[in-house]
Structure 1
Amino acid sequence: MKQVQQPDALLVLKDGSVFRGTALGKIGTAGGEICFNTGMTGYQEIYTDPSYYGQVIVNTTSHIGNYGVQYQDEEESGSVKIRGMVCNFFSQIHSRHTADTSLQEYFERANIVGISGIDTRQVVRHIRDKGVMNCIISSEIMDPAILLDRLHQIPDMEGLELSSEVSTPKIYEVGDAGRAEFKVAVLDLGIKKSILNNLASRGAHCRVFPAKTPFEEINAWNPDGYFISNGPGDPAAMPYAVQTVTQALETDKPLFGICLGHQILSLASGITTYKMHNGHRGLNHPVKNLITGLCEVTSQNHGFAVRADEVLENRDVELTHVNLNDKTIEGIRRKDRPAFSVQYHPEASPGPHDSRYLFDEFVKLIEVEVR
């Protein structure tokens, strides 16, 4: 199979910057918040991660698509969640014999618009300087002025509630109910499959609830612990989730939050969040565990963070993890409740398993509760 010549495409940023390249995926027009991921591999996991919903991903690694896609093992949700993709070299062909299809065909089926042939180093340096902003990609409209006009109609990520758009529409269960040692109620704000797999592999019977499920309905299942998932959007625009977590804390049952779940636990603890200049997205972020003194190589994907000064001033909260690159908050735990959270993704494997102990700590808290 040979590379097929694709039509031209444009990438236009909200500040008026224009980049010209070649179309990939579906021919069309799409836009969202542009951000970059520094991971060298794992592009399919990125594209299907619900936390990227509403965003256009710049892959900084130079070749994308060269190992194709696998439907069963490498998807973090049931569909592609990104709005668009930007890369340097896009390979329409792949060499992995276990791949199900090419990334080009995968994007066409998912109606994803993208652009290649871009100097991604230039794009990344630009948005590192100016900060994340909205963008638009088109392989059908070649007039930057028209695209810039359309771009202004795309809402900014700050203030946007998106979890209810990617959350499960109905309750489902993961794990063997007959053999499970304990029950975990999962609030799905945009959960990744690998998180549920990590819980189930440790003996949990998980019942996954839609994002806006009333706490009374969740609690009626009488779980042994609560898990608050990752997800997209602005945590400050999710008072319903904050209320759910606040009520869950009052039960004194173990609670664990990851990424957006960390931000929601922080809000429920009286700590506010803010939009980051660029965010953290990649597989190589160093995080120090302040309890053990050890450093972890972590996978991250977030554009919001919790305020460090408010964490340090909160008498009910202890700082447990800090980012060694920029000193942002990476983990907290409640002093008065069996609850903790981290900003990064312990289910991912950049370390490769530096952070999996967090699931074990959650299980230990539940075992104490069950006994």
Structure 2
Amino acid sequence: MTLTADPAILVLEDGTRHRGRAYGARGTTLGEVVFATGMTGYQETLTDPSYAGQIVLQTAPHIGNTGMNDEDPESRRIWVAGYIVRDPSRVVSNWRADTSLDAALVADGIVGISGVDTRAVTRHIRSAGSMRGGIFSGADAALDPQEQLRQVREAPQMAGLNLSAQVSVADAVMVPARGERVGSVALIDLGIKQASIENLASRGFDVHVLPHDATYEQLAALGVDAVFYSNGPGDPAAADDQVALLRRVLDDRIPFFGICFGNQLLGRALGFGTYKLPFGHRGINQPVLDKATGRVEITAHNHGFAVDAPREGITDSPNGYGRVEVSHIGLNDNVVEGLRALDIPAFSVQYHPEAAGGPHDANHLFDRFADMVRTHREDAH
């Protein structure tokens, strides 16, 4: 691969400008600039629908040396709004690679920039908070600086955005259980990764992947044993329809497991609020305390919002679902990383236990979900 000499400029909404080289597709892209701390797993990051609407900056300096392959994507395409790297690999050095990262970005129309001091941009975002930005590459790099800044400042804020419709499946899909069958689960696709589907199927669930706007009547017609809310992009405060659906699930005491966006929506359904984090958690090295066991797990994250719930003790659900406790705490900043209902069969975590990419410390949560479904069925009989 020959790296381009075409110019590119990263413009932040506070007027900060960083010059670099075009990487991926040429043109203009706008979005919320966020940083991801993983040193590996960039293919899983790029194909994670949770990153829709976001320009992702990789803090690891050297990106692309393993290329891209046809086995590891977590969804049907690359979803990031844009991509920022310091030193893109000049060659692909992995036997599994089917194409280069640069070629994959071009194929999906993802505008990127390389040759940027990513450490300086990361430190700026950590101080000032996540902000809107734009990458202008190729001919667009020559646009008037004030015009570039105007476009960035007129881009939509992430707060208030409901992006699930952009990333969800259009039609229902069923993935059959593998091994001993536990039951069936309705998976509401708010931006699901393939690894979550595989983890549920391997635990004995027939997985009904449903669109973001699935109704309670559709769930009832399927006769599912449980409901799962996936990760996904956008502001949980803008997902009223999914919260209303979840409340009906909780009313009927159908076992529920939510991850990431699903954790935030469980928080809302229980009656708690959500808020936007200054710069969010993104990467595969986030330490989380499991309060029940005292164990610290290293986990994969991608979220810019969090649940506002009491971190200590047991709280009554403001919406009448009984007792609730915060089950997990982020050790970097004390953010709520999990919820557990004590009087109904429901729990959630803010991180990604399917570990795509990332560590496998939290993979056991899928076993916990299967055990909860078995126990609920036995109690019902």
TM-score between the two structures when normalised by the length of structure 1? 0.96
Q: In structure 2, how many angstroms separate the alpha carbons of the residues matched to 1:354 and 1:244?
A: 31
Q: Which residue of the partner structure matches residue 351 of structure 2?
A: 344
Q: After superposition, what is the alpha-carbon deviation per residue over 1:53-77, rounded to whole angstroms, capped at 9, x for unaligned?
A: 00000000011111100122x1111
Amino acid across the alignment from 1:75:
P
Partner SS state of residue 119, structure 2: helix
The change in CA–CA distance for 1:311 and 1:305 in structure 2 (over 3 A counts) is farther
Residue 144 of structure 1 deviates from its aligned partner by 2.0
**Deviations 1:313-337 (Å, cap 9, x if unpaired)?**
7312111110111111011111220
Equivalent residue number for residue 358 of structure 1: 365
Using the alignment, how far apart are the partners of 2:236 and 2:195 within structure 1? 22
Alpha carbons of 1:318 and 1:236: their partners in 2 closer, same or farther (altered >3 Å)? same
Write the mapping of 1:1-371 to structure 2, written as runs, cut at 5 A: 2-72=1-71, 74-139=72-137, 140-141=139-140, 142=142, 143-176=144-177, 180-309=181-310, 314-315=315-316, 316-348=323-355, 352-371=359-378
- The amino acid across from 2:51 in the alignment is Y
Q: Secondary structure at the match of 1:223?
A: coil
Residue 319 of structure 2 corresponds to which residue in structure 1? none
Cα shift at 1:214? 1.1
Distance in 2, matches of 1:50 and 1:82, equals 8
Kept after mapping to 1: 8 A contact 2:41/2:357: no
Cα distance, 1:11–1:312 mapped onto 2, change above 3 Å: farther
- Tell me the amino acid that sits aligned with residue 338 of structure 1: P
CA deviations over 1:240-295 (Å, ceiling 9, x no partner):
00001100111112100000000000000000000000100011111010001111
1:356 counterpart letter in structure 2: N
Aligned equivalents of 2:287, 2:243: Cα separation in 1: 28
Letter in 2 for 1:81: W
Does structure 1 retain, via aligned residues, the 8 Å contact 2:300–2:359?
no
User: Aligned with 1:309: secondary structure?
Assistant: coil
Q: Aligned equivalents of 1:107 and 1:351: distance in 2?
A: 22
Identity in percent? 45
* Shift of residue 128, structure 1, vs aligned partner: 0.6
One-letter code aligned to 2:325: E
Provide TM-score, normalisation by structure 2.
0.94
What is the DSSP-based 3-state SS (H/G/I as helix, E as strand, rest coil) of the residue aligned with 2:304? strand
Q: Which moved more, 1:220-229 or 1:3-12?
A: 3-12
User: 2:57 and 2:358 mapped to 1: Cα distance?
Assistant: 23
Q: CA RMSD in A?
A: 1.6
Q: Confirm or deny: 8 A CA contact 1:284 1:350 kept in the other structure.
A: no
2:235 maps to a residue whose letter is D
5+ unaligned residues in a row in structure 2: which ranges? 317-322
- Give 2:309's aligned amino acid: A
| Counterpart code for 1:184 | V
1:156 CA displacement: 0.2
Q: CA deviation at 1:179?
A: 6.5
Alpha-carbon distance between aligned partners in 2 of 1:289 and 1:59, rounded to the nearest angstrom:
28
1:178 CA displacement: 10
